[in-house]
A and B are shown apart, each in its own frame.
Chain A
């Protein structure tokens, strides 16, 4: 669907935050916002859903704990219950304190690494990814809000955005393979 988007550029995060609230008040659809640094409260102003990455991390941690338990139980108790320095290898519980450091580290390892990989996958980041940057200045000191024109009147939108404090407003043809 070839639609048009308006790119409105701001140079202050406070003005941007205020503009986001106004734009949403007018029920215009914000496609995306590009900022050089995290703007505190932006996701709330945009009405984005909370991240669930902490929940995935917790579950990955449980996986790591399970891996550590199964691994140590198999190696040290089931497969070859050797007497090593008098440690009781009769059951997992009896020798558990010795396994706790491994259980802990595996839990942290799985929770951390799988969460990071989840983050990369969900945000579509990888080494040779083509950067999706509509304006190079957004990595330095400018803030860019992309608003879907939809069926709205472009002139009216431009005027409205100008009033929210936008420095530059440009109309962009949105190609299909843009993203």
Chain B
């Protein structure tokens, strides 16, 4: 049995407290009126930074800018109001991005876990309890996500632009024909119902598989394993459908004028690579503390291979999406990348280096995949890269050019990191770290590559 060290508990709590302070500060820093925006922008002008932002915000950021563009181009006040909305969105977006990032780690781990069951993998059963520990964050993350979506649904914040009822009202001056055309899918009640169905299904599988896995420990036969096998196969079908829709709802709808068919796969790839990286990192950590006696170099090697492979898979999808749109250059699609390349140049291309070039070079060598600190180092870069990936997907649609990585972003990141560590490692103490009766566990103990 694993016991939660007090030091780790303290570490997690410190992150949560510091993060919470950061989140609150972020909300307090957000401007309330346009005059505050003017002040902030005036003080920014000193370093020539605010100027860029003002110009950039003026020329695009269309997803939110419809209203101000629709009026008169010379209207200064409309511009400041536009920036005000972006700045007010920033702490909400930061919160949303960080909560989604850790949520997708838990969900990706659950999918990976289901794949291991359904594929009857012989190498991974010694890691099942680690994966179950990570997926223990899923219920917590689900509650946070649903609360955030409800807050958006009740117009406490305006990060989901399409939720604004003015846009679908034909008599309103802000009427948006494109969004109105999508409103049979993108409307708040249906959106929330879908969210509940997705989260309910995923949490149900998580609960069932964990329960069966614990019952299997004391079982005489393989009854619980077979149940889990079937549950995993069914979950994977459910997952791939709902994951795709979830990515339209929770990520793609930030840019409600834009659409991409492989978006679900793209989000999935990022999810899987982050999840596998976290599995590898938690495994290495627990192994280094002497808790996973049956885990050897070859298990780490396999996880590192998955990190390597899924990093390339993610890049493949990133590039496919980018290149198809860049190549055909259809205005209604290409604005998505135009805003990102103009306003988010460094994060947009930086993440390709972090998520592709770095892991490919670091993990190509077979020997390096067995070196723990190599895997940890690469893992940190991959996770940072995928945080930026989510950042790039969400921020341009909500805050446009008024982005930065500062107190609100880091605060949210710290808070959810602390919460994640706390929940995951507490869950690891709840059950023995070896699924002892699993039919493949003996093979897994002797696994070598």
Tell me the A residues contacting B by CB distance below 8 Å. Answer: 54, 58, 86, 97-98, 100
Contacts and interface: CB of A to CB of B under 8 A. Distances in A.
A97 B366 contact: no
10 contacts: A58-B364, A86-B329, A97-B319, A97-B322, A97-B323, A97-B326, A97-B327, A98-B323, A98-B327, A100-B323
B354 to A, nearest CB: 18
B77 to A, nearest CB: 38
Contacts of B319: 97, 100
B188 to A, nearest CB: 38
A58 B366 CA distance: 13
Contacts of B323: 97-98, 100
B363 to A, nearest CB: 13
Given A58-B364, A97-B322, A97-B327, 8 more contacts: A54-B366, A86-B329, A97-B319, A97-B323, A97-B326, A98-B327, A100-B319, A100-B323
* Best-surrounded residue of A54, A97, A100 (most CB of chain B within 10 A): A97
Contacts of B327: 97-98
Interface residues of B, number: 8
Nearest to A101: B323
A86 B323 CA distance: 15
A115 to B, nearest CB: 14
Interface in B317-354: 319, 322-323, 326-327, 329
Contacts of B329: 86
Contacts of B366: 54
A76 to B, nearest CB: 14
Contacts, number: 12
Nearest to B319: A100
Interface string B306-322: 00000000000001001
A54 B322 CA distance: 31
B262 to A, nearest CB: 16
A155 B29 CA distance: 92
A178 B322 CA distance: 59
A86 B331 CA distance: 14
Nearest to A86: B329
The 8 closest A-B pairs by CB, nearest first: A97-B323, A97-B326, A98-B327, A100-B319, A100-B323, A97-B327, A97-B322, A58-B364
A97 B329 CA distance: 12
Nearest to B365: A54
A42 B115 CA distance: 33
Nearest to A98: B327
Contacts of B322: 97
A97 B323 CA distance: 6
Contacts of A97: 319, 322-323, 326-327
A97 B320 CA distance: 10
Interface in B189-219: none
B336 to A, nearest CB: 15
A157 B323 CA distance: 67
Nearest to A58: B364
A54 B369 CA distance: 15
A134 to B, nearest CB: 33
Nearest to B366: A54
B163 to A, nearest CB: 34
A45 to B, nearest CB: 15
A58 B365 CA distance: 10
Nearest to A87: B327
Nearest to A97: B323
A100 to B, nearest CB: 7
A97 B364 CA distance: 24
Nearest to B367: A50
A111 to B, nearest CB: 12
A50 B317 CA distance: 35
B300 to A, nearest CB: 19
A58 B368 CA distance: 15
